[in-house]
Structure 1
Amino acid sequence: MKVNVADRLAALRTRMQETGIDLVALGPGAHVHWVAGFHPHPDERPCLLLIGPQREAFLMPSLNAEGARVDTDIAFYPWSDDTGPTAALAAALDAVGASDAGVVSLDETMRADFALLLLGALPKARHGFAGETVGALRMKKSEAEYRELKMNARLDDVAMQTAYAAIRPGISERDIAATVRAQFAADGARPMFTIIGSGPNGAFPHHSVSDRVLQRGDAVVIDIGGSRGDFPSDMTRMAVVGEAPEGYAEVHAVVEAAVRAALAAARPGVRAKTVDAAARTVITDAGYGAYFVHRTGHGLGLEIHEPPYITSTSETVLEAGMVFSIEPGIYLPGRFGIRLEDIVFLREDGPEILSDLPRDVRVCG
């Protein structure tokens, strides 16, 4: 998706003024992609996008400069392996008006040696993290970003139905995952992750895949995502092989009620912890509180996991335009797990679910 760099920089500088930040420093990754529309090559050579009150510049390894120039017209301050980055960094800081920056907003995902190099050049500066600057802006998606997220959700729906079609006694988790990845690829999307947790493996929330062969009576957790363009999808649905295991229907109903409670609580102006509490209360009241072992949700955007995080302690106030998952789960060791996950785009009147696929359990095989 084409990024309007001038608009992104203007929004970021407004945020810098509001938060008293003199310099934003970003390493190769999602924050730079949001601002500049591309990912600089990530390696051990220091590369930083420096954004001052009025000007911006890249500290750029000479080795990567020619390749990066096709993606941006932001000024480069190149350095080579034989000279090192120190002088180029000092020149770049001077160019963006940040040689004496008092408060720096650091990319929390950049390499530690990049951060130490920068802070060494600004010994008097205090620092915070870019979650308060770029991250705060990334949490609210535009309508263009919504359209790409919606498109990827539709691709995820198709891939999920491919998984349903593959499930039968005798097939392995690994083979189902391969079928899902092939479907994403056929639709021009990059497979981002596949969790296929059958039977007792479903009780491990972040089980990936294994060679376990599905058996009649297994419950199967299917958590998959792919990306065509900049934004990924993420969705979890449940299937059973032939018939559900004992006690499954009751637990599925509790998780579905928790999803509905969280959706009802998610409104602009509500704190994220209130949404988590809505889901958690349903599960706890049903007697399964000890088996809901993770947060209710996470933000989704350029990264699969990003703010806002829907946790029991998050004070983040939800706003229209935020995108996040609702994904409560119950995990019964040695038996099965159930997680139901939808990504929502928060509108002024509440959450819009991006998937069109029902959360009902699918009987397969």
Structure 2
Amino acid sequence: MNVYSKRIGKCKAKLKKEHFDGAIIIPGPNFQYLTSYTVESFERFMGLFLPVNEAPLLLLPKLEEERGRTRSVVDRITAYDDSDDLKDVLSFTFSELDLQGGKIGVEGQMPFSTCQLLENASNIEVGNIDFILQSLRLTKSTTEIERIKRSSRILERGISAGFEAITKGITEKEVARVIKHTIEDQGGEVPFLSVQFGPNSAIPHHTYGEREVKKGDVVLIDMGCRYKGYFSDITRVGVVGKINEKIKKIHDVVSKAQERAIERVKPKVEAQEIDSKAREYIKQNGFEDRFIHRTGHGLGLEVHEPPYIKQGNSRRLKPGMVFTVEPGVYLPGDFGIRLENDIVVTSEGFENLTTIGKEIRNI
């Protein structure tokens, strides 16, 4: 039995335990996790039907049939034509799988219009099963962790190339272009990228623009790399020219806050404890109001997924969980410092998947 068949089996067992008759999974990370088939959100309806008492079925438009048969592990495939009435196709599929009038699990990301379509086609009752799907993906296998590690190595090369590309007059956008090319040449993808010069580094979700680098600028590079479907996410900072004492101090505070948080990582510790370790140190140094986000988020097939390292999250860590630890301090109009590493929980504690140095790069 391959890994995807095992995942489908576990999913069906959990569905049955929660009194669902089946589930429908649409394109996205859960679809990929269960089928090996990677497809972005799609205009036409596509769905993995998971009846708890029958083999899974993939319902696809005909133009996706060939890819579905070659890329998916699901053997049972039904393809429909654009001229077909989708309501009739769905009604027939529900009847074929003995799901008419049943309780069907769907993802929270499923559009309301799609839910309505499914309900109207079969008189089913739908329920959110994000909690089931998240529980399946929460801890990573050895293969998944190795892919995240490989993603991290590729990302680190991209960050280094970005800093090395910075010369007088270069823009954020031009540095971003260098990083993207480096990542893609290594076999990775760049779903998001932030290159922030000077005051822009104090805007956490600034991406990149036409601002030219200036002497004295803090340069913050934050990016995600996807390799074979799996994400890494790292942030590092540099300074153009002399590094002043204010920058040194805040970098030191953020660095030590991150270290204290990472040192607390081990099985059975609550996620909120990791956040508290970083937050407490930053508060002790007078920057409590300038740390304006959670300390971290899970990594896997999504760049943001459970476990979330934040206040109020009492979820206990388990071996195989992978997440970021990324405290930051932001001074609007001046600069921001954030340091981000990727961490995996092990049976004894943790492994730091990020190997690139976190010292301030002197550019």
TM-score by length of 2: 0.93
The 5 A counterparts of 1:200-279 are 200-279=199-278
The 5 A counterparts of 1:121-140 are 121=121, 123=123, 125-129=125-129, 131-140=130-139
Alpha carbons 1:219, 1:245 under 8 Å: kept: no
- Offset of residue 245 of structure 1: 4.0
The 5 A counterparts of 1:49-198 are 49-55=48-54, 56-72=56-72, 73-102=74-103, 104-121=104-121, 123=123, 125-129=125-129, 131-198=130-197
2: CA distance between counterparts of 1:302 and 1:293?
26
Counterpart residue number, 2:6: 7
Change (3 A) 1:187 1:325: same
Alpha carbons 2:101, 2:123 under 8 Å: kept: no
Counterpart residue number, 1:361: 360
2: CA distance between counterparts of 1:236 and 1:63?
40
2: CA distance between counterparts of 1:350 and 1:248?
32
Change (3 A) 1:271 1:115: farther
SS of the counterpart of 1:50? Answer: strand
**More displaced stretch, 319-328 vs 120-129:** 120-129
Alpha carbons 2:192, 2:224 under 8 Å: kept: yes
Counterpart residue number, 1:26: 25
2: CA distance between counterparts of 1:277 and 1:41?
36
Alpha carbons 2:60, 2:80 under 8 Å: kept: yes
SS of the counterpart of 1:60? Answer: strand
SS of the counterpart of 2:239? Answer: strand
2: CA distance between counterparts of 1:280 and 1:91?
55
SS of the counterpart of 1:330? Answer: strand
2: CA distance between counterparts of 1:58 and 1:279?
45
**AA of the residue aligned to 1:71:** R
- Offset of residue 124 of structure 1: 5.7
Change (3 A) 1:262 1:105: farther
Change (3 A) 1:82 1:308: same
SS of the counterpart of 2:345? Answer: strand
Stretches of structure 1 that go unaligned for 5 or more consecutive residues are none
2: CA distance between counterparts of 1:207 and 1:75?
45
* Identity of matched residues, %: 30
Q: Deviations over 1:246-288 (max 9, x none)?
A: 5111111111121112112222222222222221121122211
**More displaced stretch, 273-282 vs 205-214:** 273-282
1: CA distance between counterparts of 2:273 and 2:118?
38
Counterpart residue number, 2:320: 321
Alpha carbons 1:297, 1:324 under 8 Å: kept: yes
Q: Deviations over 1:266-320 (max 9, x none)?
A: 2222222222222112112221111111111111111211222212122332211
Counterpart residue number, 1:348: 347
Alpha carbons 2:88, 2:121 under 8 Å: kept: no
Change (3 A) 1:120 1:273: farther
**AA of the residue aligned to 1:213:** E
SS of the counterpart of 1:43? Answer: coil
Question: What value does the CA root-mean-square deviation take over the aligned residues?
Answer: 1.9
SS of the counterpart of 1:133? Answer: helix
1: CA distance between counterparts of 2:124 and 2:211?
57
Alpha carbons 1:26, 1:49 under 8 Å: kept: yes
- Offset of residue 64 of structure 1: 2.5
- Offset of residue 41 of structure 1: 6.2
1: CA distance between counterparts of 2:64 and 2:313?
39
Alpha carbons 2:272, 2:312 under 8 Å: kept: yes
**More displaced stretch, 244-253 vs 321-330:** 244-253
**More displaced stretch, 120-129 vs 258-267:** 120-129
**More displaced stretch, 45-54 vs 11-20:** 11-20
2: CA distance between counterparts of 1:59 and 1:242?
58
SS of the counterpart of 1:234? Answer: strand
Alpha carbons 1:53, 1:96 under 8 Å: kept: no
Q: Deviations over 1:79-105 (max 9, x none)?
A: 333332222222322343432323x32
Q: Deviations over 1:198-218 (max 9, x none)?
A: 110000001101111111111
SS of the counterpart of 1:284? Answer: helix
Alpha carbons 2:254, 2:337 under 8 Å: kept: yes
Alpha carbons 1:49, 1:59 under 8 Å: kept: yes
SS of the counterpart of 1:301? Answer: coil
Alpha carbons 1:58, 1:92 under 8 Å: kept: no
